[in-house]
Amino acid sequence: MKYLLMIHVNPAALDALSEEDRQAIFAEHDKFTALTKESGELVGFAALADPAATTTVRVRDNVPAITDGPYVEAKEFLAGYYVIDVEDLNRATELAAMIPDARFTAIEVRPVMESGGAEM
């Protein structure tokens, strides 16, 4: 079963980290990526740009409205994600706990709905 592991980050928590701590977290992400690639559980991953770079599109009455910024104001933002293909939720949460950001923020684990259409 596929799961999306969403890394939610509070900018204040990031700001509190030293540059050395940030670099250590990046190195741990590299290890996590290597581990899940080697096990065959990694489907894909991405780090996302700062929410300030967001563009939001809404269509109302068939007219697109394009605005700068995220959809909602929030204390936390989606900083990145991993898509994994594992046996069950227990393994998904085990892997989520290995993501270094889980020590200071939240990792949301959500099943990916599969349809008869395009495969991720």
pLDDT exceeds cutoff 90 at 56: no
Q: Cα dist. 5→57, 59, 77, 113 in Å?
A: 24, 29, 14, 14
Residue range 60-77: average pLDDT?
81
Cβ(107)–Cβ(7) under 8 Å? yes
Model pLDDT, residue 1: 96
**CATH assignment of the domain containing 87:** 3.30.70.1060
The parent domain of residue 96 ranges over 2-47+75-111
Q: What angle do CA 48, 103, 49 make, to 5 degrees?
A: 10
Residue 63 domain flag: no
Residue in the block written with tokens 């068939």: 62
Please tell me the total count of domains within the chain: 1
For residue 73, what pLDDT band results from cuts at 50, 70 and 90?
A: low
Distance CA 120, CA 49 (A): 21
Residue range 46-69: average pLDDT?
89
Q: What are phi and psi of 96, to 5 degrees?
A: -60, -40
Pair of tokens at residue 26: 């990046």
Residue 93 domain flag: yes
Mean pLDDT score across all residues of the chain:
90
Model pLDDT, residue 54: 87
The residues, ordered by sequence, that sit 6+ positions from 11 with a Cβ below 8 Å of its Cβ are 77
Residue 80 domain flag: yes
Q: Residue 97: name the closest of 82, 87, 85, 111 by CA.
A: 82
Residue 69 domain flag: no
Residue 70 domain flag: no
For residue 51, what pLDDT band results from cuts at 50, 70 and 90?
A: confident
Residue 88 domain flag: yes
Distance CA 108, CA 58 (A): 25
Residue 36 domain flag: yes
Model pLDDT, residue 70: 66
Residue 91 domain flag: yes
